[in-house]
A and B are shown apart, each in its own frame.
Chain A
Amino acid sequence: MANIIQVGMADLKLARAPDKLMTAGLGSCIGICIIDRQIKLACLAHIMLPSSELAKNAENKAKFADSALEVVLEEMLKNGANRSRLQAKMAGGAQMFKFSGESDIMKIGERNAVSVEAHLNNHRIPILARDTGGNYGRTITFDAETGELLVRTIGHGERII
């Protein structure tokens, strides 16, 4: 029996096939999905903010793109993954509200996406697919067996990337 493991906001979890990882209602947050296809080990992190550097409280590492990715890598390697086999997919980073005088806070989705990409590049993890931006939320399910990422939305279709 395959389980669907729920990942909350500012949280990260690992799963082995046939299990799947799921996180609901990504707005400006981003779901970072990392997989080692050979051993079918997957990880999903639901990050909220681009960087832990300026944060006054960075205790929860899963909250920030940079620190979350470090924990993800550490956990994946500890559980038998090979660094050179890691592949990534990402989704989220929408802009949910529009104001006339837009502040940086409101562009957080875009900043999150840029930061996640940069950190994945730094760690030399190839990004196989992405579904970011727009002004709508996403619920994603990451299959540890196939590496498929199912993206569901309200009114903007459903797709597998």
Chain B
Amino acid sequence: MVDNYGELSGIQLDALKEIGNIGAGNAATALAQMVRAKIDMTVPKVKILPFTEVPDLIGGADLHVVGIYFNVQGQAPSNILFILAVDKACLLIDMLLGRAPGETTVENLDELEMSAMMELGNILSATYLNSLAMFTNLKFIPSVPALGIDMAGAVLDAILAQFGEVADHVLVLETEFTKDDQDVVGHFFLLPEPGSLDTILTALGVNF
């Protein structure tokens, strides 16, 4: 039983990284098709972080962000969070809705814009989970998306609270999407619930 993420071996971390790589790769392709632009992604980082440091990963607890959250049920319950700075989200919405860059602003984020973001989240998480399911032969059933526009810390803590009863650390699979070589589009987090990590590692054949 992997209770303490610090006990993960190198080969286990590599396996998780590889899933992240392929999952996020497919998600990036889906995103690129949607916005009709070239989207690059970084090689995923697998990190084991204390709660306190998670907000820093995305630029500080104070940063104004859009977070799209999915609770994933199945044999290995997990959480997915796609998070991006609010100004980047507005640019993405411009692309999705065929608007001129800069047309969407924080002030006019309305139902249509939110819905576009949620749809984007749907596609990203579904592609990601498909790859994960293929590798592990496990079933993953994502919830409908929940959208939060607020401070990064506030968006994160509601999700991290679920881990709080068992752990002080979370395992974060993090991928950055970038467009045109510079714009950081967003961060994609997969947060397996305690116990789920065991199931995933066993399914991958690296639980020893």
Contact = CB atoms under 8 A, between A and B. Distances in A.
A131 B76 CA distance: 37
Given A9-B52, A63-B164, A138-B154, A98 B64 contact: no
B158 A109 contact: yes
Interface in B116-170: 143-144, 146-148, 150-158, 160-162, 164-168
B150 A55 contact: no
B146 A99 contact: yes
Contacts, number: 112
A110 B67 CA distance: 21
Interface string A101-134: 0000110110000000000000000000000000
B160 A57 contact: no
B168 A60 contact: yes
Given A55-B166, A60-B168, A137-B155, A9 B160 contact: yes
A9 B153 contact: yes
Given A49-B165, A56-B165, A27 B156 contact: yes
A106 B162 CA distance: 9
A57 B168 contact: yes
Contacts of A139: 61-62, 151, 153
A84 interface: no
A102 to B, nearest CB: 10
Interface residues of A, number: 36
B51 interface: yes
A95 B158 CA distance: 8
Contacts of B161: 28-29, 48-49, 105, 108
Contacts of B60: 24
Contact of B52 (A8, A49, A96): A8
A28 B51 CA distance: 14
Interface in A46-99: 48-49, 54-57, 59-60, 63-64, 94-99
Shortest 9 CB-CB distances between A and B: which pairs? A25-B153, A137-B154, A27-B154, A25-B61, A8-B52, A24-B61, A137-B151, A97-B146, A25-B151
